[in-house]
Amino acid sequence: MNASNAVWRSPASSSAASTKKRPICSGRPTLLWVDDFRPGLELYRAMFEGLGFKVLTAASGQEGVKLAAENLIDVVVTDYEMPGMDGEAVAIAVKSLHPRVPVVLFSGSSLVSARALRVVDACCDKAGSRNQLSSTIYRMLQKKRSRGLQPPPVSRASDVEHRTVA
């Protein structure tokens, strides 16, 4: 079965202990968009849904982390400057939940900390073109898929300075 055609469903839960519901993966990549500017959220939701994505939106960092914990996410796009939980904190929280999920910092600020840039996988300027933003998101999807498909490297005897003689 091709991974892009896989349909993921939460296991049927007969016990009351399991109350978390995991949505069905539609086969479309899922973006989580976190930004405190609500008109921007709606704009980017419409834009990326038009490109074939499923887009979840959150108007705060806390709401975004909650959505990341409850849903299957392929890429997170977060604003940097937000009240309460900023984009750096969102990236750290998402990475602690899902280390393989790429996080794109989408900011209009020129004062992004070096620490924030080390935590995220990519950074896009809000003043940049839509093509730049969409190509960055597609690149992050490819990076995630390639990391997920590659087996871990197999160590060879020569890697630990042991030689084999033929």
Tell me the pLDDT tens digit for each residue of 127-163.
888 899 999 999 999 887 765 444 445 555 555 555 5
Amino acid 147: pLDDT:
56
Number of domains the chain is built from? 1
Structural domain contains residue 164 = no
Q: Under a CB-based contact definition with an 8 Å cutoff, are residues 94 and 101 in contact?
A: yes
Check which CATH number belongs to the domain holding 77 and give it: 3.40.50.2300
Report whether pLDDT(95) > 90. Answer: yes
- Please classify residue 107 by burial: count the beta carbons closer than 10 Å to its beta carbon, then call 0-12 exposed, 13-18 middle and 19+ buried: buried
pTM of the model: 0.71
Q: C-alpha 3: how far from its chain's center?
A: 18
User: What average pLDDT does this structure show over 35-39?
Assistant: 94
State the pLDDT at residue 165. Answer: 54
Q: Look at residue 16 and tell me if it is in a domain.
A: no
> Does a structural domain hold residue 51?
yes
Q: Would residue 6 count as lying in a domain?
A: no
Cβ proximity of 137 and 112 under 8 Å: no
- How many angstroms separate the CA atoms of 40 and 157, rounded? 54
Asked, for residue 37, whether it belongs to a domain, the answer is yes
Write out the residue range of the structural domain in which residue 115 sits.
23-147
What is the side-by-side order of every strand in the sheet holding 103-107?
54-58, 30-34, 75-78, 103-107, 122-125
Query: Residue 56 domain-assigned?
Result: yes
Burial of 37 (0-12, 13-18, 19+ CB in 10 A): middle
| CA–CA dist 59, 41 (Å, integer) | 8
